[in-house]
Chains A and B, each alone.
Chain A
């Protein structure tokens, strides 16, 4: 059965610093991978997704993620964060069973 692990429940960072939010998955078959963002009092919004092709995926708001099959990871990165990036970030994985499994989320807090 597939699962998703987001190792950090909270990540505090100062504005303009780089950030990496970690995501590891377990699955015995090919997977599709997603990052969603949830701003305060809002629904989730797709940030980026990996379906196939280049392992480096670029998303909205300057975020990118790299699919690493050997390490079963899909870490999210941004070279310089802004106050407005403060939000909850969810990693998700799906396989050929048409199930989409979400992680527990990482709260990114950006300080001035």
Chain B
């Protein structure tokens, strides 16, 4: 049973709007991640955090930003959404390193920008 929650699950908005995708986990994990998932494509890491006040950009460049003020909370923000931001965004957390640790994923937030 998942202990990592994402809201909203689905969001349809117009171009230029500011949006925040929420991600919360109750497992006390230090490490949290945001992945972008498009059909037929591999998952791409766009942001990660190894603890409070620590955030890094991932392997795929993204115009989004993240913050980590509390251990359990890792929101992702787009200041001005564009159609190119249409995608599924997956949040994950882990205890160990990505190399050996199991990632726990949320159910995803599917964003459509018109």
Q: Which residues of A contact B (CB under 8 A)?
A: 4, 9, 32, 36, 41-46, 49, 51, 90, 94-96, 98-105
Q: Which residues of B contact A102 (CB under 8 A)?
A: 42-43
Beyond A41-B107, A43-B2, A98-B97, whether A9 also contacts B102 by CB under 8 A is no
Using known A-B contacts A41-B107, A43-B107, A43-B108, determine if residue A95 contacts B43 with beta carbons closer than 8 Å: no
Chain B residues with CB under 8 Å of chain A are: 2, 4, 6, 40-43, 45, 59, 90, 92, 97-100, 102-103, 105-108
Task: Jot down 30 A-B pairs with beta carbons below 8 A, ordered by A.
Answer: A4-B42, A41-B107, A42-B108, A43-B2, A43-B4, A43-B92, A43-B105, A43-B107, A43-B108, A44-B90, A44-B103, A44-B105, A45-B105, A46-B102, A46-B103, A49-B102, A90-B43, A94-B99, A94-B100, A95-B99, A98-B98, A98-B99, A99-B59, A99-B98, A100-B45, A100-B103, A101-B42, A103-B42, A104-B41, A105-B40
The 4 closest A-B pairs by CB, nearest first: A43-B105, A102-B43, A100-B98, A44-B105
Q: Are A51 and B107 in contact (CB under 8 A)?
A: no
Contact between A42 and B107, CB atoms less than 8 A apart: yes
Decide if the interface of chain B is mainly helix, strand, loop or mixed: loop
Please name the residue on chain A nearest to B2 by beta carbon. Answer: A43
**A100 adjacent to B99 (CB under 8 Å):** yes
- Cβ contacts under 8 Å, B107 to chain A: 41-43
Nearest residue, chain B, Cβ from A96 = B99
For residue A45, which residues in chain B have a CB less than 8 angstroms away from its CB?
A: 105
